[in-house]
Amino acid sequence: MRFGIYLPSVNRFADPGALVEIACAAEESGWDGVFLWDHVAWTTGEGPARIADTWVTLGAMASRTGRVRIGPLVTPAARRRPQKLAREAVSVDRLSGGRLTLGVGLGSPAEEEFGAFGEEADARIRAQRLDEGLELVRSLWSGGPVEFEGVHHRASTSGFVPGPVQSPRIPIWVAGSAKPRPIARAARWDGMFPMSSGWPEKEYGAAEYASIRRRIEGLRGDDGGGFDLVHASVSRPLPEAEEVAEMGAAGVTWWLSSFFVDGSPEDAMALASVRPPRAE
């Protein structure tokens, strides 16, 4: 089991410098990763939220750390041009020396993130754009000629260089509910971040993760080796050893100690300054 810290980039967490300092503290304390939300618009009861740009912040994290994995969790690929996402991901991967994990998903809230800017908010269309976009990103990362003709994306290029540091490519985690289509999408890539519709109030438990793991293995036709299953907990930032063992037996490979928008950077820094459970 590996342990990470999962941070919003919204409101009290909208200070890129503070997020970078938390990442540095987490690395020093022995955490394995630091991951960030990726939003362009968010409204709370107090009105429009302050938001830090996740990709700019990841670049700063990459330059200030040397060991922890970093990444967006998740970037809504449907609102990104695949060529721009591919280029940014490679730049952060190279800047970090090969430590980027690309977390992707449909994105929410749909109307604020998409509709308000004239983008398609329909979930079915966004899912199509996500699937096509990932295939194009993977092709671009290869560095060779790309001829791509999809419903939503097209590309014709003789090469897209440089490529990622990581081989065969940057790992991709897919977020989604424990339903057949999201699970099938994730099974084509390198990991899944299962999120219930009621997160963070409702978190999946060990039995649900075990079921997801079995379905992933069935779809992949292998034992799931190297495939990550990610649990993010707001309620249990520092789990007991028994919880870690139970989740590990269910196939969870990452436990993310998480903060929501009502949390504070000070609390996150305090957590980042403590050794993760497996180091105790």
What residue type is assigned to position 249 of the chain?
A
What was the pLDDT predicted at 144?
94
For 239, the token pair is: 């789990």
pLDDT-derived band at 80 (thresholds 50, 70, 90) equals very high
What was the pLDDT predicted at 39?
94
Q: Is the pLDDT of residue 279 over 70?
A: no
Q: Does residue 34 have a cis peptide bond before it, meaning omega lies within 30 degrees of 0?
A: no
- Over residues 54-74, the mean pLDDT reads 98
Bridge partners for 146 per DSSP: 157
Each residue of 153-164: pLDDT tens digit? Answer: 999 999 999 999
Each residue of 176-203: pLDDT tens digit? Answer: 999 999 999 999 999 999 998 777 778 8
pLDDT-derived band at 30 (thresholds 50, 70, 90) equals very high
Give the C-alpha distances (Å, rounded to integers) separating 182 from 107, 135, 174, 178, 275. 13, 16, 8, 7, 33
What's the whole-model pTM score? 0.96
CA 247 to chain centre: 19
Q: State the Cα–Cα distance between residues 192 and 185, nearest whole angstrom.
A: 9
Q: State the Cα–Cα distance between residues 262 and 50, nearest whole angstrom.
A: 13
Domains identified in the chain and CATH numbers:
2-279 (3.20.20.30)
